[in-house]
């Protein structure tokens, strides 16, 4: 199964993608995490991406598209994959279709997670992530047992540099202008499914798997 997860910042794409990866046994390809790893490793891609990410802008299409194309070539993507955070522009969606066409593949489902802006701002403002294993917490909805420390590996928790109020607002604006048009794009392709992203993560996961098995 080849799935694209679409949703504004904080919609729960990462949370749901991790659960879906386990459920379907297909790899999650989180472009935001891949770019943050490139920044940490000090690669040329990371250096180019950093300024865009810190200010809530999209990293240029050609950089992200090349990174994803390279990742999709790996053997673990043969049975399927789950793209989390890609595509984010019409140009990226078209490049993805072209890339898949070459091997006779296509996207089976573009899953759009719908969450109102107020909830997004609250989720992002309270997010904490483990430096070591990337586990995710929320200070109100899913707090760690000990503040600042990961329950799974005792790693140190941090707040992402793009989770400041100012950058959250900029990211929401970028989403509306550049990424929301993908909803129409995939609707015309006939593979769009929209799921209500409000509620407990387990409840939303159930909605997603019900939607996928009905498609």
Which residue in 113, 85, 116 sits closest to 211, CA to CA?
113
Comparison of 172 and 212: residue with beta carbon closer to ligand AP5? 172
| Contact indicator for 197, 113 with CB cutoff of 8 Å | yes
Which residues are catalytic, by number? 13, 88, 127, 160, 171
Q: State the minimum distance, in angstroms, from the CB of residue 18 to ligand AP5.
A: 8
Cβ proximity to ligand AP5: between 27 and 56 the closer is 56
Distance CA 62, CA 172 (A): 22
Closest separation in Å from C-beta 174 to ligand AP5: 7
Binding residues for ligand AP5 (CB under 6 A)? 7, 9-15, 31-32, 35, 52-53, 56-59, 64, 85-86, 88, 92, 123-124, 127, 136, 138, 141-142, 162, 171, 201, 204
Q: How many Å apart are CA 71 and CA 59, to the nearest integer?
A: 17
Judged by beta carbon, residue 80 or residue 201, the one nearer ligand AP5 is: 201
Tokens 């990226």 -> residue: 92
From edge to edge, which strands make up the β-sheet containing 192-196? 28-30, 81-84, 2-6, 109-114, 192-196
Minimum distance from CB of 132 to ligand AP5 (Å)?
17
């Amino acid at each position: 199964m080849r799935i694209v997860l679409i949703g504004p910042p904080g919609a729960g794409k990462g949370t749901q993608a991790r659960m879906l990866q386990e459920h379907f046994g297909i790899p999650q390809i989180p472009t935001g995490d891949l770019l943050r790893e490139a920044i940490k490793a000090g690669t040329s891609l990371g250096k180019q991406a950093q300024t865009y990410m810190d200010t809530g802008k999209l990293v240029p299409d050609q950089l992200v598209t090349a990174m994803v194309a390279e990742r999709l070539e790996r053997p673990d993507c043969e049975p399927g994959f789950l793209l989390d955070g890609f595509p984010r522009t019409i140009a990226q969606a078209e490049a993805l279709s072209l890339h898949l066409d070459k091997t006779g593949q296509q996207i089976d489902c573009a899953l759009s997670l719908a969450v109102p802006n107020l909830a997004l701002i609250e989720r992002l403002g309270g997010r904490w992530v483990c430096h070591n294993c990337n586990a995710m917490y929320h200070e109100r909805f899913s707090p760690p047992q000990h503040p600042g420390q990961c329950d799974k590996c005792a790693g140190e928790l941090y707040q992402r540099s793009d989770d400041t109020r100012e950058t959250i607002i900029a990211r929401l604006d970028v989403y509306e202008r550049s990424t929301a048009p993908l909803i129409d794009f995939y609707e015309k392709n006939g593979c769009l499914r929209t799921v209500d992203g409000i509620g407990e993560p387990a409840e939303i996961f159930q909605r997603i798997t019900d939607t996928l098995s009905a498609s």
